[in-house]
């Protein structure tokens, strides 16, 4: 049921950061784009289709689902609008499909409304570009069904990206629901964590192991600069990092291999995060 074959409605959407308002071209209407000076990125959106039903807008859902609609105004997807016919608030129906039959029947269940449940397919309908990220060598197990988009993105409340992608505290909270160990507390904290998990990790998937943004020491050198220190006694360049000569160390591998800074998230025992 959750994988009901959906939609034919294909429209286009462009984002307007200023207006935070998105138009969806419905039916045979031409694709609608909002010109935006912030970005020219475009997105094809495909709300689910339900045979015989039409879009009624989020307002009608409030009659019975006030627990969801009460705080929906703050949700990212509350801004979705259906082009034409007075710009209906697509809102709820962008994921649940057109609700006229469901509303008329007073909430009759079978086939009258789409319940995505824990399926990510509802999200891929529009966010088609995200699918690839979850097929990368290292990725959160969404394709296997062990996780789903709503583990990290609330569809009903607040910014879909917790913290709106800016508040670091909020962003780390997303990860700490499941990975509390990495936040410590540690006797020797690594200040990098305060900059957010996403300083070093991709959130969906990566070509590098452990969802890392880089598999080399560049990951660390974005903050710990190599200090110019001339040449050593043997004539080779001296590589100073953090006030220590690292010339002989870098050939051993990345910064976080065993014996070096293995405890990248923080350490209970070593100020230089060795273990
Ligand atoms: C007249 C009351 C009423 C209105 C209006 C209404 N619903 Fe429902 N809805 C129900 C009832 C009753 C149920 C089933 C009870 C339950 O399990 O929550 C339900 C169930 C659902 C479900 C779960 C379906 C499933 O198969 O598990 C979704 C999703 C849903 N409604 C979305 C909406 C949306 C979106 C709107 C607005 C377009 C809407 N509802 C309008 C009464 C209503
Ligand atoms: C961005 C997509 C999205 C939007 C927009 C959205 N929902 Fe949902 N909704 C979901 C998903 C996904 C689930 C299943 C959540 C889960 O099980 O983890 C869900 C679950 C539900 C359920 C519960 C069904 C159940 O299994 O008990 C109801 C009722 C519901 N939504 C109503 C609404 C209403 C009303 C609105 C608008 C105010 C709305 N939704 C907007 C994605 C959305
Ligand atoms: C009907 C199409 C549609 C569906 C279905 C849909 N989205 Fe969206 N979503 C959009 C649009 C349009 C935007 C705003 C454009 C943008 O900022 O990228 C958006 C924005 C977002 C954002 C915020 C992006 C940002 O940069 O702030 C996230 C996260 C997101 N959606 C996740 C989801 C998840 C998770 C689901 C499934 C539960 C889902 N979406 C279902 C169309 C959709
Ligand atoms: C493990 C948690 C997690 C899961 C699972 C997850 N996301 Fe995200 N997603 C995030 C975080 C955190 C961000 C913000 C990234 C940033 O700020 O760098 C984000 C950003 C986004 C964005 C906006 C940024 C962009 O790259 O355009 C979209 C859209 C999005 N996610 C969609 C999805 C969809 C669709 C799914 C399910 C198929 C999903 N996400 C699953 C954590 C997750
Ligand atoms: C809902 C739970 C959940 C959330 C939230 C979550 N993760 Fe995960 N994470 C997992 C699961 C499950 C795995 C797969 C573990 C495995 O394969 O053994 C994983 C794997 C990882 C891995 C790779 C570890 C390994 O052993 O391969 C990293 C790194 C990671 N997550 C970072 C993050 C970051 C960063 C965030 C926040 C954007 C986040 N996670 C949010 C559940 C979660
Ligand atoms: C300074 C960069 C950096 C930051 C910031 C960072 N990580 Fe990591 N993380 C790494 C590296 C490097 C590894 C790989 C360690 C290895 O291979 O042994 C890793 C591995 C992981 C793993 C796999 C298990 C483990 O501990 O080795 C998880 C889960 C994880 N990180 C989650 C997080 C979370 C959650 C945050 C935010 C609280 C975070 N990371 C912040 C660099 C970072
Ligand atoms: C977002 C910036 C940032 C990133 C990325 C980062 N660090 Fe740090 N790191 C810091 C800050 C800030 C400190 C504390 C001040 C200092 O000692 O330079 C610190 C301290 C350290 C220390 C302790 C130095 C001491 O002896 O007091 C080590 C070791 C360290 N980082 C290793 C790493 C490694 C390994 C990586 C890559 C996996 C990394 N850092 C990535 C910001 C960062």
Q: Which of 94, 128, 162 is the last residue of a domain?
A: 128
Q: Which of 187, 211, 235 is the last residue of a domain?
A: 211
Ligand 7: atom nearest CA of 260 is 35
Query: In angstroms, what is the span from residue 191 Cα to ligand 7's centroid?
Result: 7
Q: Are 102 and 15 members of one domain?
A: yes
Domain count, the chain: 3
CA dihedral 257, 136, 184, 149 (to 10 degrees): 180
Residue 118: CB within 6 Å of ligand 2? Answer: yes
Residue nearest to atom 19 of ligand 5 (CA): 140
Residue 2 within any structural domain of the chain? no
Q: Are 162 and 67 members of one domain?
A: no
Residue 144: CB within 6 Å of ligand 7? Answer: no
Q: Are 47 and 97 members of one domain?
A: yes
Residue 47 within any structural domain of the chain? yes
Is the distance from CB of 273 to CB of 188 less than 8 angstroms?
A: yes
Residue 75: CB within 6 Å of ligand 5? Answer: no
Q: Are 23 and 120 members of one domain?
A: yes
Q: Are 200 and 167 members of one domain?
A: yes
Residue 272 within any structural domain of the chain? no
**CA–CA gap between residue 88 and residue 80 (Å, rounded):** 9
Q: Are 106 and 62 members of one domain?
A: yes
Ligand 3: atom nearest CA of 116 is 38
Residue 5 within any structural domain of the chain? no
Give 152-160's long-range contacts (Cβ < 8 A, gap of 24+): 152/203, 153/123, 154/75, 155/75, 155/77, 155/95, 156/68, 156/71, 156/72, 156/75, 157/71, 157/72, 157/74, 157/75, 158/71, 158/74, 158/75, 159/74, 159/75, 159/76, 160/75, 160/76, 160/77
Average pLDDT, the chain: 78
**CA–CA gap between residue 101 and residue 111 (Å, rounded):** 9
pLDDT at position 167:
54
Residue 1 within any structural domain of the chain? no
Residue 130: CB within 6 Å of ligand 4? Answer: yes
Scored b (16 or more CB within 10 A) or e, 63-100 reads eebeebbeebeebbbbbbbbbeeeebbbbbbbbbbbbb
Ligand 1: atom nearest CA of 57 is 38
pLDDT at position 14:
29
Say yes or no to pLDDT of 133 above 80: yes
Residue 274 within any structural domain of the chain? no
Residue nearest to atom 25 of ligand 6 (CA): 182
Q: Are 197 and 140 members of one domain?
A: yes
Q: Which domain holds residue 67?
A: 11-128
> 163: pLDDT confidence band, cut at 50, 70 and 90?
low
Residue 120 within any structural domain of the chain? yes
| Segment 160-175 mean pLDDT | 69
* Backbone CA torsion sign across 152, 158, 159, 163: negative
**Averaging pLDDT over each range in 74-83, 201-210, 236-245, which range is the top one?**
201-210
> 85: pLDDT confidence band, cut at 50, 70 and 90?
low
Residue 125: CB within 6 Å of ligand 3? Answer: yes
Q: Are 79 and 110 members of one domain?
A: yes
Residue nearest to atom 38 of ligand 3 (CA): 123
Query: Which region among 62-71, 98-107, 159-168, 178-187 has the lowest average model confidence (pLDDT)?
Result: 159-168
**Averaging pLDDT over each range in 19-28, 83-92, 165-174, 257-266, which range is the top one?**
257-266
Q: Are 160 and 193 members of one domain?
A: yes
Q: Are 45 and 95 members of one domain?
A: yes
Residue 6 within any structural domain of the chain? no
Ligand 4: atom nearest CA of 151 is 5
Q: Which of 128, 154, 174 is the last residue of a domain?
A: 128
Q: Are 48 and 152 members of one domain?
A: no
Q: Both tokens of residue 184? A: 């410590």
Beta-strand relationship, 188-189 and 226-231:
unpaired
Percent of the chain with pLDDT over 90: 42
pLDDT at position 227:
82
> 216: pLDDT confidence band, cut at 50, 70 and 90?
very high
Q: Are 142 and 123 members of one domain?
A: no
């Amino acid at each position: 049921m959750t994988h009901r074959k959906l939609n034919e409605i294909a429209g286009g959407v462009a984002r307007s950061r200023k207006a935070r308002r998105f138009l969806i071209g419905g039916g045979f209407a031409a694709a609608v784009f909002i010109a935006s000076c912030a970005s020219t990125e475009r997105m094809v959106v495909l709300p689910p289709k339900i045979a015989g039903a039409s879009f009624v807008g989020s307002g009608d859902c409030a009659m019975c689902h006030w627990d969801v609609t009460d705080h929906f105004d703050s949700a990212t997807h509350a801004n979705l609008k259906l082009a034409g016919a007075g710009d209906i608030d697509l809102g709820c129906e962008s994921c649940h499909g057109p609700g006229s039959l469901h509303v008329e029947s007073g909430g009759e269940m079978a086939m009258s409304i789409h319940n995505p449940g824990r399926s990510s397919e509802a999200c891929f309908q529009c966010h088609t570009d995200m699918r690839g990220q979850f097929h990368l060598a290292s990725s959160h197990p969404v394709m296997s069904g062990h996780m789903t988009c709503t583990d990290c993105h609330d569809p009903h409340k607040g910014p879909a990206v917790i913290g709106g992608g800016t508040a670091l505290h909020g962003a780390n909270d997303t990860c700490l629901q499941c990975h509390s160990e990495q936040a410590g507390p540690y006797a020797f904290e690594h200040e990098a964590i305060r900059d957010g998990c996403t300083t070093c990790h991709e959130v969906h998937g990566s070509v590098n192991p452990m969802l890392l943004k880089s598999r080399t020491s560049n990951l660390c050198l974005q903050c710990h600069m190599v200090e110019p220190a001339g040449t050593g006694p043997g004539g080779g360049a001296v590589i100073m990092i953090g006030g220590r000569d690292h010339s002989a160390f870098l050939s051993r591998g990345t910064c976080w291999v065993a014996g070096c800074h293995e405890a990248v998230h923080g350490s209970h025992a070593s100020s230089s995060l060795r273990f």
